[in-house]
Structure 1
Amino acid sequence: MILSAVVSGAIILDWLTGEPQRFHPLVGFGIVAGKLESSLNSGSPRWRKSKGLVALLILAVPLPLLWYIYQPYSWSWLGDLLLLWFSVGHRSLYDHIQPIATALDAGDQEVARTLTSRVVSRDKEALNIEVSAVESTLENGNDAVFAALFWFVLLGGAGALFYRFVNTLDAMWGYRNLRFNDFGRFTAQLDDLLNFVPARLTALSFALLGHTRQALSCWQNQAHLLASPNGGPVMTSGAGTLGVLLGGATRYQGQWQDKPYFGAGEPPVTQDIRHALRLVSKTLALWVVILWCTEGFVWLQA
């Protein structure tokens, strides 16, 4: 039952402490990653791809590998708990999204727009606040919570830490533009691979906790319309279970992109932002309960 206890402890610790306000480890990691990218990201497309792979291996592999190999057995549970606490971002997601709904309730569209622009890469002046906030909540529910938890269950703290490093690098380098299309190619592909199974488990969990038939239908018929191979199942299932219509034209760096609509029902309102947050929390509770039950069953059979 140690695994379930460690997972529960890390999730509780994350909720009680939230994201560090000072000396955040990922901030330091991001600074190092930015400097390494600046020094390596040059040359022909082939060289950029090769050097991007080298940078990925340098940054994402050593620490998780060292912990996986050399973790002290008697204290490994404590190290794993701290690494999962570092890797999971349930409270951070809540702290970034909830203030958007609060600002909208107060009628302060400008504050809500500013807060939303901090969690999405869309142009601030043209974004749809409610749509952007709900989409970000659903997609980051997988990226910041469930994928890290999935890799922790499989590989312990090393797995969660490795996933968090790769996902952070993908957020920095995984853009299909002139600067990162080649350098970030392997990082983006690895992030897609690491998220493949967790994203589909998340989509299934979303469907089970709302309008199940509608969610499954949206997932089946609409996921392929979205550019992200993992964001598609998560967001279409989440939109279907919430009964909201997401997507539509979006502007990035001054360029409009005619993205497809997905989901079912009406466009989201302020309360739907809170519904999306609750869906992520209920899904997390479901995963923890399943883990406790599974580990308890195995223990009883031993």
Structure 2
Amino acid sequence: MLMQAWPACVAAALAGVLLDRWLGEPRRWHPLVGFGRIASALERRINDPAHRGAPWWQRLAGVAGWCALVLVPAALAWGLVEAAARWHPLAALALHALALYAALGARSLHQHVAPIAAALTASDLPTARKLTARIVSRDTADADAEALARAACESALENGNDAIFGALFWFLVGGAPAVIAFRLANTLDAMWGYRTPRLLYFGWAAARIDDLLNLIPARLTALSYALLGATAQALRCWRTQAPAWSSPNAGPVMAAGAGAVGVQLGGPARYHGEIEQRPPLGAGTAPQAAHVMACLRLVDRALWLWLVLAGASALVVLAVSTPT
């Protein structure tokens, strides 16, 4: 956004965050649920099994599907905001705030992760396994308390970037159209970005574009985690451990977050019945319920740090631009 619109952008960001805190995810008619159904239907339609042996065709189909599902809604959002701005500036600001609210998942993250910590504290492993299975793709049927706490910590830290800071970053860059594009692209990566025979080539564009869109936000998230925890340890974990992680963005975020909290993450995890040995993340003690809540508090503090810095910069812009 232009500098003269920066204070309004920050005001809309604060409004969007407060709406998320107040309302949380819509319990019915969630827009991302509807989007996911459309994305699944489109994938089944254009990811033709007859062309599974032609990687170039699958990649082309994936790019076309991505453009249709991300760029078209973003362009529509831009047109709607422009029309609202011509009617009244407050109408446009409201649309920006609503778009950010729809893209954020701060309250949802807490609602999904905190009950896992509560179940672990109560030594209720069956409930903890059931709750953890809802937010991670790894097998939890036989997971012990340490494995469940590890999964919850990793999910809280990583989704802090995906569901909060990535959305907030792109909103501050480009308002409603940018945050909608980011959130839809992130959702497509979660749906199409798997290295399965069906999606290996079709989901290539979705995975690579999501990596690119998260390149800056993930590092700002990692830096925020480091500044708000055990800073030196977090930065050391980021520098030494993140390069070994398979994801270029999840590695820095989780390594810095785990180092900031003082917990040892990574290590073995069961996927589809097989144990996968993952590089270590963080430093300190084995994960427990208390570490899960510590990770959630770290995410919350980082969110308010971003808002305070954005608000301070908006005040500076107002002071500079106000005639004396």
Give the corresponding residue for 1:17. Answer: 23
SS in 1 for 2:29: coil
Question: Is the 1:113–1:129 Cα contact (8 Å) retained in structure 2?
Answer: yes
Single out whichever of 228-237 and 65-74 deviates more from structure 2: 65-74
2:38 corresponding residue in structure 1? 32
**Deviation for aligned residue 1:41:** 1.4
Where does the alignment leave 5 or more consecutive residues of structure 2 unmatched?
A: 1-6
Counterpart CA distance in 1 for 2:291 and 2:96 is 35
**Preserved CA contact (<8 Å) 1:126 1:250:** no
Match of 2:243 among 213, 224, 246: 224
CA distance in structure 2 between the partners assigned to 1:63 and 1:261 by the alignment: 39
Residue identity over aligned pairs, in percent, reads: 45
1:63 to 2:73 alignment: yes
TM-score (norm 2): 0.91
SS in 1 for 2:28: coil
- Number of aligned pairs? 302
Give the AA of the match of 1:228: S
Q: Is the 8 A contact 2:100 2:168 kept in 1?
A: yes
**1:126–1:251 contact (8 Å) kept in structure 2:** no
Which amino acid in structure 1 is aligned with residue 114 of structure 2? Q
Spell out, residue by residue over 1:227-278, the C-alpha distance to the aligned partner (whole angstroms, 9 max, x if none): 0000010000000000000011111111221111121011111011000000
Name the amino acid aligned to 2:103.
S
Please state whether the residue corresponding to 1:124 is helix, strand or coil: coil
Secondary structure in structure 1 of the residue aligned to 2:267: strand
Which amino acid in structure 1 is aligned with residue 127 of structure 2? V
The alignment status of 1:247 with 2:266, answered yes or no, reads yes
| 1:173 equivalenced with 2:192 (yes/no) | yes
SS at match of 2:141: helix
Q: For the Cα contact (< 8 Å) 2:10–2:172, is it kept in 1?
A: no
Moved over 4 A (4+): none
Q: Distance in 1 between matches of 2:293 and 2:269?
A: 22
Further displaced range: 35-44 or 162-171: 35-44
**Within 1, Cα distance between the matches of 2:37 and 2:80?**
27
**Preserved contact between residue 228 and residue 298 of structure 2 (Cα < 8 Å):** yes
Q: Distance in 2 between matches of 1:170 and 1:4?
A: 28
**Aligned mate of 1:132, from 151, 166, 179:** 151
CA positional deviation for 1:66:
2.0
Which amino acid is 2:277 matched to?
D
Q: 2: distance between equivalents of 1:27 and 1:67?
A: 18
Q: Retained in 2: the 8 A contact 1:120–1:132?
A: yes
For 2:135 and 2:62, the matched residues in 1 are separated by: 25
State whether residues 140 and 148 of structure 2, in contact with CA within 8 Å, keep that contact through their aligned partners in structure 1. no
The CA distance in 2 between the partners of 1:269 and 1:180, in whole Å, is 35
Residues 1:101 and 2:117 aligned together = yes
Matches within 5 A, 1:222-301: 222-301=241-320
User: Greater CA radius of gyration, 1 or 2?
Assistant: 2
Where does structure 1 lack aligned partners over 5 or more consecutive residues? none
TM-score (norm 1): 0.98
* SS class of match (1:61): helix
State whether structure 2 residue 209 is matched by structure 1 residue 190. yes
Aligned partners of 2:165 and 2:303 also within 8 Å: yes
Indicate the SS of the match to 2:275.
strand
Partner of 2:57: 47
Counterpart residue identity of residue 14, structure 1: D
- Separation of aligned partners in 1, 2:240 and 2:212: 22
Alignment partner of 1:206 is 2:225: yes
Return the alpha-carbon distance in structure 2 between the equivalents of residues 173 and 63 of structure 1.
Answer: 18
In structure 2, the residue matched to 1:90 is 106
Deviates more, 1:133-142 or 1:95-104: 95-104
Match for 1:162 among 160, 163, 181?
181
Q: Shift of residue 69 of structure 1?
A: 3.7
